[in-house]
Amino acid sequence: MFRGKKYQESAKLIDKNVQYETAEGMELICKTASAKFDETVELHVKLGVDSRHADQQVRGAIVLPHGTGKTVRVLVFAKGDKADAAREAGADFVGDMDMVEKIQKENWFDFDVVVASPDMMGLVGRLGKVLGPKGLMPSPKAGTVTPDVAKAVKEVKAGKIEYRLDKTNIIHCPIGKVSFGAEKLAENYSALMGAIVKAKPASAKGQYIRSCVVASTMGPGVKMSTAKLV
């Protein structure tokens, strides 16, 4: 695979055989990000579990100490007082059947997170086939199906992210922007890794964290040492 000159220069700063400690790893991420835009920093963790088994699912949500640096658009399914509270909390879109129809008829997806009050799940369930594959289906586990929709909206706006295993047993999550600097990225990284370690299923055997790599959008991956976290 051909890589650009900037990428090749950046890659020289990273020793492929070293697993870096948190602070040093984040400094390297900031040094090796060379794009003209503010790159997103992503965490990729391969876990020693089997996502095909229901008792080995790793999934949850956490509010990152410094947020993600991304403006998140929130759609809320709620009625009455809850709808008003969601609007006050800063939800971008609020509705019930009108929103279901907009998504179904107009193929509308100008939102990043969906929050729903429990009484709306019968309605939202109709969208399972379109929201599910995009990872947008609200769930109690992620805190996006809740009677307190206003609180959920505030948390999402403050930088709450959901982490979950994909089919290859890897979790991919943003932990901020390069402009945050190494210290804030390190704090976000430690918070997320701490949550993933805590979420270890009781049935998981052997080595839980197989590998952990952090990379900016255009930059090379940095292998992270997780010995102290486990």
Per DSSP (E only), the strands in 168-229 are: 170-177, 209-216, 222-223
Per-residue pLDDT band for 2 (boundaries 50, 70, 90) equals low
DSSP 8-state assignment for residue 173: E
CA atoms within 13 A on the CB side of 201: 19
Amino acid at the residue 163: Y
Query: 97-107: b or e for each residue (b if 16 or more CB lie within 10 Å)?
Result: eebbebbeeee
| Six token digits for residue 177 | 């922007």
**Global pTM value:** 0.80
Q: What is the distance between the alpha carbons of residues 67 and 55, in angstroms, rounded to a whole number?
A: 30
pLDDT confidence bin for 13, thresholds 50/70/90: confident
Pull the structure tokens for residue 112. Answer: 């990043």
Q: Render pLDDT for 69-122 as a digit per residue (tens, 0 to 9).
A: 988 999 999 999 999 999 999 999 999 999 999 999 999 999 999 999 999 999
Amino acid (one-letter) located at 140: P
**Which of the listed ranges 7-11, 182-186, 202-206, 215-219 does the model predict with the highest average pLDDT?**
182-186
Coil, helix or strand at residue 215: strand
- Count of beta carbons in the 10 Å neighbourhood of residue 167: 7
